[in-house]
């Protein structure tokens, strides 16, 4: 069984990584104080980092190139994982302020890397009623537990999938 670790930066639990001996991959960080002669005076206690925090550290050190690569990796992964036939229409909300929101129940796998405790995910598509062509819809996703959606974040869903989901509601 994998040992659950707790991130010293964000407090999230994660499983030990990297799996196997991967040169150049790290899972903790320590601060070092160097003297004027270049020698190491002391080193802080290492902080264990979850994969997300390690990624942030890599971005901090290596700049935006890494960020773009990681983003693409994530996007590719997301496209493979998303199967909208598993999305279930939950609710339609028409705001008096002139916008429409559709809620869908989605597989928990879409949020389980960040929120393993989630019972399922909720996906929300929102657009302004004045936007007839729906050029400016926004799609967000949140983990759901005990009926609460508690961490909304942007969700990359292509326009074809969005159209399919809206179609589903119209037929509902
Ligand atoms: Zn963390």
State pLDDT tens for residues 18-53.
Answer: 887 777 788 999 999 999 998 999 999 999 999 999
Q: Residue 64: what pLDDT?
A: 63
Q: Is the pLDDT of residue 123 over 60?
A: yes
Q: How far apart are CA 82 and CA 141, in angstroms?
A: 12
Q: Residue 56: what pLDDT?
A: 86
53 Cα to the center of ligand 1, angstroms = 4
CB atoms within 10 A of CB 11: 8
Q: Residue 33: what pLDDT?
A: 95
Task: Give residue limits of the domains in the chain.
Answer: 4-81, 84-171
- φ and ψ of 87, to 5 deg: -80, 140
1 Cα to the center of ligand 1, angstroms = 21
Q: Residue 66: what pLDDT?
A: 56
107 Cα to the center of ligand 1, angstroms = 24
49 class by beta-carbon count within 10 Å (0-12 exposed, 13-18 middle, 19+ buried): buried
3-state secondary structure of 54: helix
Percent of the chain with pLDDT over 90: 42
Q: Residue 76: what pLDDT?
A: 57
Full-model pTM: 0.53
56 Cα to the center of ligand 1, angstroms = 9
Q: Residue 144: what pLDDT?
A: 95
């Amino acid at each position: 069984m994998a040992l659950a670790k707790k991130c010293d930066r964000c407090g999230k639990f994660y499983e030990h990584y990297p799996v196997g001996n991967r040169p150049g991959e790290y899972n903790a960080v320590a601060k070092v104080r160097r003297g004027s002669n270049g020698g190491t005076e002391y080193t802080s206690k290492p902080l264990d980092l979850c994969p997300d925090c390690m990624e942030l550290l890599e971005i901090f050190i290596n700049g935006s190139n890494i960020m773009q690569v990681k983003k693409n990796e994530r996007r590719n992964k997301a496209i493979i994982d998303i199967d909208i036939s598993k999305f279930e229409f939950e609710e339609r909300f028409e705001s008096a302020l002139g916008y429409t929101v559709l809620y869908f129940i989605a597989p928990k796998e879409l949020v389980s890397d960040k929120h393993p405790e989630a019972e399922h995910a909720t996906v929300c598509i929102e657009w302004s009623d004045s936007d007839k062509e729906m050029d400016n819809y926004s799609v967000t996703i949140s983990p759901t537990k005990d009926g609460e959606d508690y961490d909304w974040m942007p969700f990359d869903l292509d326009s074809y999938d969005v159209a399919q989901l809206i179609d589903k509601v119209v037929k509902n």
